[in-house]
Structure 1
Amino acid sequence: MHSPAIAIVGAGVRGTAALGRIAARVIAAPPADPLDIHVIDPFPPGSGRIWRDGQPRSLVMNTVPAHSTVFDDATLAFSAPFPGPDFASWCAGVAAGDIAVESEWVHDAAALTLPWSTPSRSLYGHYLRWAHRRFAKSLPPQVTLTVHAASARRIAVEADVFRIALDPVPLAPPAATPTTIMADTVLLALGWVPRTHCGSASTDVPSENPIDQRIERIAPGDRVAVHGMGMGFTDLLSLVTEERGGAYIPASAPTRPGALEYRASGREPSLIAGSRSGLPFLAKPDFGAVPPRARLSALHAAIPQLVGRRPLDFAVDVLPLIERDAAAEYHRALSELHPDAYRADPRTLLDALQAPPDGTGSAHWRELEDASLDAAVRRFDAAAVLAPFASRDAEALDHEIAERIADDAAEAALGLRSPWKRALHVFQAARASIIPLTDFGGTAAASSDDLRRYLFLAGLIGSGPPLFRVEQLLAAHRAGVVRFAGPGFTVRADQTGRAVHHSLSAEPLSHVDRVAEAFLNLPDAERLGDPLIDGLLDDGLARIWAGTAPGEPATLEIAEADSALVGASGAPTAGLHSVGPLHEAIRRFTIIAPIPGTRSSVLREIDAAVESMLARTRARVHRTAEEAA
């Protein structure tokens, strides 16, 4: 008979946060009997696969340090708290010598990191591993933590206990990791589960985490078709330019602050970039400080009433509130920075935008905007980001896309002095606020396309690369390393090889030597080819959520209360829980890490699962004691 046991499969951000919530709860209410915790991951606990050490330090985060944590805070009001430093505070502690680290590089990198910096992913991995060690050291003596350098291959239920079959990593000592673990309850914290297949037969570098993509397949001088125009593309660009000896240096005749030139190493390929839409992801604004908290007054005021009316028509009930909050930010900024843009007093417009959603005149802000603004002044409309391209000629289209990127970079460089970027910041930030309105089928099926369009647009606005990466992209374009292909980007085979096409011309744009995918798709539970997920589905311990909209990745169904996987019968599989991107279609915005000071939905969902798991282990102890008596 094994001791009561909990297993956490996955030791990245969510697995580490889960260990922290377990630690907090067992410190507050120490178990009377021994408790075993098993952490299972082939990569180091804390950083896991994505944030592991050894990756190029030119690869940077897409979130500022002040918005990254695995500890809880007062906004969560947990009964058993485990507060600790967010990433920015940790860097400050390392720099001051208050937190010991294992290398001089970590100390120096932390000392250079401001709360709004874009630090390396490697440095963030050091923070996560430190947090994992802190949680582990805090466990009471009757709680034993064992870390298994292994992958979970299969989970089966035997007499109400989970048997987890492991595949130890090749270099692990044979005696160090068993091939089977027994646990009373299991949390899957799998993160971005990689696909085991390699995409289409024509793809040389399939979609993956950049450090696992085998970029070395791309030889100097290769002509490479690249699917994707977001953060993944700028990652790939960094790996084939500055990581091969090239250098981005300040422009000798800059057209704007921050403009760069590229000094080639001679080892670069030639990249032709495109996507289905052809639209580039926008640069993150350089606010020169931690990004301001988005003011979403109209949306937040309406949420209690909207929750009671679910399922909602997203385009009618929700999107106008987001647009109104973004427009309010736009006109607050515009009226402060450029009061001459108005031909009438803007206070009437601002009052209407900032009034409660059912306030007098609040529905007429667009008419008031037209009446207030000078005719030549730009109106706020986030959908302008999706404007179709005017050019059809390949050279002109390449130039038009580059101009769009440059114009956006100029706005991003203005930071708080850009009304446009401030408004877009609010528009995209609403993704986190609409969770209670959209989770678990909160929007009507007929409105799923509207929600998906908003999420796509908000992703273009809010999930793009930091500004310096966009300046590097523009420099590489001017140097001839990058060319933009436009929308409808495809690669087709013909008599002479593979050729890039786009939807604006029947003629091929260029023949290529290699094809690369520079993006990460959300995990699709039906297409992963992962033995663990496939086994759960085959054994009826999990099922695909029926509410997944056409075109969305298949999502594993979970219970709203505690993230227990729902089995084939329609009932939750008691003791088996799962959190993270595998459930994005049912529990929205799972892809983000916890953000401090925001009552993090990620930490709340993890804590609810942990509470249920600990209750199950306590019940098992009581049941065993009764049987023994």
Structure 2
Amino acid sequence: MSTIAVIGGGPRGISVLERIAAQLEARSGTRPEGQVTVHVVDDTEPGAGRVWRTDQTRTLCMNTLADAVTLFTEPGSSVTAPVLEGPTMYEWAELLRGDTLPTDADPDGAKTALYRSHPAMVRGEFHSEIAGMKPESHPSRALYGEYLRWVFSVVLSRLPRQLEVKVHQARATAITPVTCPDGVVRDEITLTGQTSGDATGPGGTTVLADATVLAPGWTANEPDALEGFTATSVQMHPELTWVRPANPADQEVADLPAGEDVLVRGLGMGFFDLMAMATVDRGGRFIPDPSTRSGLTYHPSGREPRLVVASHHGYPYQPKPVLHALPSPAPVPRFRAALARLPEDAPADSVDFGAELWPSILRDAQAAYYSTLFGGTCPGHDADPERLAAVTSLIDDPAVDPWRLHELPELAALVPDPADRFNLVFYADPVAAYDRDAGDFTAWIADRLSEDLHEARLGTRSAVKAGLKVIGAVRKAAAVADEPGRFTLRSRRAEYAELRRVGQMVGSGPPAFRTAELLCLVDSGHVRFLGAHPTVVVDPEKPAFAMSSPTTGDEVVHARTLVDAWLHKPDVRTSADPLTRQLRLEGRLRPFALTDAAGGPVTSSPEVDLASGRLVHPDGSLDARVHLLGIPLLDFRADMTISPMPHTDPLMLQETDAAAVSALRIALG
């Protein structure tokens, strides 16, 4: 009997299992295979995983649209085994409601047939959400976990006869090569905290695996020096509370004191989650109110903290546009043409992103903005094809810097009102433009949030959103062009870093309703902003945390509680995950190293074989048995954080298919 261990029972782990099953099913008619046992190991909720576990607060929502996420392969996918057609999350909700899928979504009825052969059952608490779901809804993360668990159950119900699956709710804490009595070297995987499953061995709970696929998701790092100092300070002053960086659902938000100032570092998605849990989950209510600029009035419960917030750039992520439909692709013809000019076999450190790709991205962003502004749909602006043609000619002038197009006198002649010119520099760093008194900063941010919300509510009629959409949309294709490490080190640290940073701010922000809630909380006095580049120290006399920012004149705000509302990127060099740490210390993996004339630095990600996902050893050889997928490879592989989107041949499903092929080849010999 051959054995494969899949460590991580979230989306990637489920997909690996489905692809293994598909491979075995495809082979069964042509060649007999031996029996294969797959051990699926997850320490939280096999099928959903930690991030999408179904018992978390339903206040936390996905950043993805309901009809823009799937876990099924599709016809035309570049996978090696037959696809298993299944519904997107929204289509699954439709089928749960008893609706009929439209013909264009399910032309041959395969999705409906799959669902009818394995109907879903979800808890009653989700019924109202399912009933109200639209294609463009942002589902709760807990409901997405229910969808994932249903997919897992479908896979388990369709296993080929030669495949057995054993599920272990446990944590894999060690992986050790052992020579078995048959002379074959396998990996012995130690499981701790097991609450289900039946694998036992001498000295503890173990499983033996011919091949292992690691899909661990977001792994924690060991505290750095500053975090160690903060932890020591809290130990010395038990009056202080520090909520460490983590997945918001894992943070101790219940520890935040009601009615007190709480210092918060971070204005990305972790902050918006914290904000929701500190208000809605404490009984606060947002009531529609068209008389307010947010469109809401907040009815407090009296149990809320007052959030004093700062971050590196000091400004909240941009809200997503309100579209009432799935978004269309961003128009990026210049970027596509620039990509096509790159050599397919470009070696590492050979592509100057700043010279060869970045200008085309900026020109596409400018063109998208002005095409909308003068296209006849932008409020307050009539269609003006002649002026659009003149601006487009300026955009495409090779002598023009598209980053600073708004500063050109030639553009001012065509677009006289400065408010109508697309200022990319401002959107890249809004707080840098702040020039008022320190005491006005929160009011200034609130005014800007009101404008951001207005643009988001315009949807496709917003020229601003059209331009910013390009910056967010090109990140995947740019990452694929870089994989692995093709961009020069200089351009990676400059223009490519800027694309990733700005693209995150403008393309991975919250649903617009969260921005409306934030603006409402600012207006109600529950949130205020301190600025950019914050400094936090511990004042031992009070004792209290003390936070300040140069944006607001280094005004010091004291509070007993500090929340870090963000999540560390996994770092193989400092990983707190025992399995990752052991693999590194025992020389079974190496950090991916960027290369340039001087040798180049190592990154936070392990290096793997792109064709299979197998780990690369320090000497460049491939590990005989262990594969690594997903989030820990952020600096090495493209598109590692994005859930599979239908009709896109998702990279995640290509990755899991390749790992399944490799694991089976190793296990079956």
Question: How far is the alpha carbon of 1:406 from its aligned partner?
Answer: 1.7
**How many angstroms apart in 1 are the aligned matches of 2:178 and 2:464?**
58
Q: 1:590 corresponds to which residue? A: 640
Is the 8 Å Cα contact of residues 558 and 578 (structure 1) preserved in structure 2? yes
Q: 2:132 corresponds to which residue? A: 112
Q: What amino acid does structure 2 have at the position aligned with 1:193?
A: T
Relative to 1, partners in 2 of residues 1:297 and 1:282: Cα closer, same or farther, differing over 3 Å? same
Q: 1:356 corresponds to which residue? A: none
Question: How far is the alpha carbon of 1:394 from its aligned partner?
Answer: 3.3
Q: 2:190 corresponds to which residue? A: 165
Relative to 1, partners in 2 of residues 1:341 and 1:279: Cα closer, same or farther, differing over 3 Å? farther
Q: What amino acid does structure 2 have at the position aligned with 1:126?
A: E
Q: Which moved more, 1:309-318 or 1:282-291?
A: 309-318
Relative to 1, partners in 2 of residues 1:277 and 1:345: Cα closer, same or farther, differing over 3 Å? closer
Is the 8 Å Cα contact of residues 241 and 268 (structure 1) preserved in structure 2? yes
Q: 1:285 corresponds to which residue? A: 321
- Give the alignment partner of residue 94 of structure 2, picking from 87, 92, 95: 92
Q: 2:106 corresponds to which residue? A: none
Question: How far is the alpha carbon of 1:14 from its aligned partner?
Answer: 1.2
Structure 1 unpaired stretches of 5+: 354-359, 620-629
**How many angstroms apart in 2 are the aligned matches of 1:502 and 1:544?**
35
Relative to 1, partners in 2 of residues 1:38 and 1:513: Cα closer, same or farther, differing over 3 Å? same
Question: How far is the alpha carbon of 1:487 from its aligned partner?
Answer: 0.5
- Give the alignment partner of residue 331 of structure 1, picking from 362, 367, 370: 370
Q: 1:602 corresponds to which residue? A: 652
**How many angstroms apart in 1 are the aligned matches of 2:196 and 2:158?**
26
TM-score, normalised to structure 2, is 0.86
**How many angstroms apart in 1 are the aligned matches of 2:604 and 2:589?**
12
User: Is structure 2 residue 361 aligned with structure 1 residue 322?
Assistant: yes
Task: Spell out the pairing of 1:428-467 with structure 2 (5 A cutoff).
Answer: 428-450=472-494, 451-467=496-512
User: Is structure 2 residue 354 aligned with structure 1 residue 295?
Assistant: no
Q: What amino acid does structure 2 have at the position aligned with 1:62?
A: N
Question: How far is the alpha carbon of 1:330 from its aligned partner?
Answer: 1.7
Question: How far is the alpha carbon of 1:469 from its aligned partner?
Answer: 0.7
Is the 8 Å Cα contact of residues 101 and 107 (structure 1) preserved in structure 2? no
Q: 1:22 corresponds to which residue? A: 20
**How many angstroms apart in 2 are the aligned matches of 1:219 and 1:114?**
37
**How many angstroms apart in 2 are the aligned matches of 1:8 and 1:486?**
44
Q: Which moved more, 1:492-501 or 1:338-347?
A: 338-347
Post-superposition Cα deviations, 1:100-148, rounded to whole Å, max 9, x if no partner, equal 3133333432221111001111111100000011111111111000111
Task: Spell out the pairing of 1:159-308 with structure 2 (5 A cutoff).
Answer: 159=179, 160-169=185-194, 171-172=195-196, 179-195=205-221, 197=223, 199=227, 200-201=230-231, 204-251=242-289, 253-255=291-293, 259-308=295-344
**How many angstroms apart in 1 are the aligned matches of 2:662 and 2:538?**
53
Question: How far is the alpha carbon of 1:526 from its aligned partner?
Answer: 2.1
Q: Which moved more, 1:605-614 or 1:578-587?
A: 605-614
**How many angstroms apart in 2 are the aligned matches of 1:39 and 1:590?**
21
Q: Which moved more, 1:15-24 or 1:406-415?
A: 15-24
Task: Spell out the pairing of 1:559-574 with structure 2 (5 A cutoff).
Answer: 559-574=609-624
Q: What amino acid does structure 1 have at the position aligned with 2:338?
A: A
Question: How far is the alpha carbon of 1:553 from its aligned partner?
Answer: 6.1
Q: Secondary structure at the match of 1:29?
A: helix
Relative to 1, partners in 2 of residues 1:68 and 1:107: Cα closer, same or farther, differing over 3 Å? same
Post-superposition Cα deviations, 1:377-436, rounded to whole Å, max 9, x if no partner, equal 533343321131424643211222222222111111111110110221122010111122
Q: What amino acid does structure 2 have at the position aligned with 1:131?
A: V
Is the 8 Å Cα contact of residues 312 and 533 (structure 2) preserved in structure 1? yes
Q: Secondary structure at the match of 1:84?
A: coil
Relative to 1, partners in 2 of residues 1:64 and 1:521: Cα closer, same or farther, differing over 3 Å? same
Q: 1:475 corresponds to which residue? A: 520
Question: How far is the alpha carbon of 1:372 from its aligned partner?
Answer: 4.0
TM-score, normalised to structure 1, is 0.91
Relative to 1, partners in 2 of residues 1:21 and 1:172: Cα closer, same or farther, differing over 3 Å? closer
Question: How far is the alpha carbon of 1:509 from its aligned partner?
Answer: 2.7
Count of matched residue positions in the alignment of Structure 1 and Structure 2: 608
**How many angstroms apart in 1 are the aligned matches of 2:171 and 2:562?**
30
Relative to 1, partners in 2 of residues 1:460 and 1:507: Cα closer, same or farther, differing over 3 Å? closer
Is the 8 Å Cα contact of residues 592 and 602 (structure 2) preserved in structure 1? no
**How many angstroms apart in 2 are the aligned matches of 1:615 and 1:266?**
60
Q: 1:60 corresponds to which residue? A: 61
**How many angstroms apart in 1 are the aligned matches of 2:603 and 2:507?**
21
Is the 8 Å Cα contact of residues 189 and 580 (structure 1) preserved in structure 2? yes
**How many angstroms apart in 1 are the aligned matches of 2:633 and 2:222?**
19
**How many angstroms apart in 1 are the aligned matches of 2:556 and 2:436?**
12
Q: Which moved more, 1:187-196 or 1:330-339?
A: 330-339
Structure 2 unpaired stretches of 5+: 100-115, 180-184, 235-240
Overall identity of the aligned pairs, in %: 32
Q: What amino acid does structure 1 have at the position aligned with 2:211?
A: T
Is the 8 Å Cα contact of residues 590 and 617 (structure 2) preserved in structure 1? yes
**How many angstroms apart in 2 are the aligned matches of 1:552 and 1:486?**
32
**How many angstroms apart in 2 are the aligned matches of 1:508 and 1:76?**
56
- CA-based RMSD: 2.5
Post-superposition Cα deviations, 1:186-236, rounded to whole Å, max 9, x if no partner, equal 111011113465933256111111221111111212321111112211111
Q: 2:459 corresponds to which residue? A: 415
Post-superposition Cα deviations, 1:485-515, rounded to whole Å, max 9, x if no partner, equal 1001121122333211112356443111100
Relative to 1, partners in 2 of residues 1:599 and 1:527: Cα closer, same or farther, differing over 3 Å? same
Relative to 1, partners in 2 of residues 1:455 and 1:565: Cα closer, same or farther, differing over 3 Å? same
Q: 1:491 corresponds to which residue? A: 536
Post-superposition Cα deviations, 1:289-324, rounded to whole Å, max 9, x if no partner, equal 112122222222332321444521111111112122
Q: 1:150 corresponds to which residue? A: 170
Q: 2:352 corresponds to which residue? A: 313
Q: What amino acid does structure 1 have at the position aligned with 2:15?
A: A
Q: What amino acid does structure 1 have at the position aligned with 2:351?
A: L
